[in-house]
Amino acid sequence: MSEYREIITKAVVGKGKKYNRSTHTITPSHTPSSILGCWVINHVYDAKKVKEGVEVSGKYDINIWYSYSDNTRTEVVQESVKYHELVKLKYRDDNYTGEDCEVIAKSLKHPNCLDAVISPNGNRFIVTVEKEVLVEVVGETKVVVVVAPDGAYDGEDFYDLDDEFEDLDPDFILDGEEE
């Protein structure tokens, strides 16, 4: 008859990810002639468990290098963007009800500029940014294992697998077309 043991361990009890595409309007100090470059930098974020899932809060800076005065001068305009978004958990362990958990958030795709254009009226920038985040909720859970009454198997047959493979021809390869 087998014995059972209950092991308490930490495990992923919830998981989800969210892709987001957002558009921002940025007003420079001069009327732009052209966009020379756009970068999204300084991304920082934090995550916390809420009843509906995980709330990710963060910010990033959008930098636009542009020319003005008929392409004779350049300047960089910077705008900080804050965000709060809810990531719903696609996987959730229904047996886990504990409130004491750890939340891990990973940026799968850091905020990146997809598109930056001058607005139709010519005095603003319209910037499209994409990002993706993965969240995991880690909590304590219980695992039940079977314990072998005589301990671990230590028979010679268990460890001596090399003998079975000595007679194999390493140059023998089956071609998928031959039968």
Average pLDDT of the chain is 87
Predicted local distance difference test score (pLDDT) of residue 1: 44
Q: What is the mean pLDDT of residues 38-44?
A: 97
Quick one: pLDDT band at residue 173, thresholds 50, 70, 90? low
In this predicted structure, the answer to whether residue 41 has a pLDDT above a threshold of 90 is: yes
**What is the identity of the amino acid at 79?**
E
Report how far Cα 152 is from the mean position of its chain's Cα atoms.
39
pLDDT tens, position by position, 98-123: 778 899 999 999 999 999 999 999 99
pLDDT tens, position by position, 130-148: 999 999 999 988 888 888 7
Predicted local distance difference test score (pLDDT) of residue 164: 60
Predicted local distance difference test score (pLDDT) of residue 144: 87
pLDDT tens, position by position, 52-91: 899 999 999 999 999 999 999 999 999 999 999 999 999 8
CB atoms within 10 A of CB 28: 17
Give the span between the Cα atoms of 126 and 98, in whole angstroms.
44
Report how far Cα 115 is from the mean position of its chain's Cα atoms.
22
- What does the H/E/C string look like for 36-92? EEEEEEEEEEEEEEECCEEEEEEEEEEEEEEEECCCCEEEEEEEEEEEEEEECCCEE
Better-predicted residue by pLDDT, 163 or 32: 32
Better-predicted residue by pLDDT, 97 or 107: 107
In this predicted structure, the answer to whether residue 179 has a pLDDT above a threshold of 60 is: no
Contact 135, 56 (CB under 8 A): yes
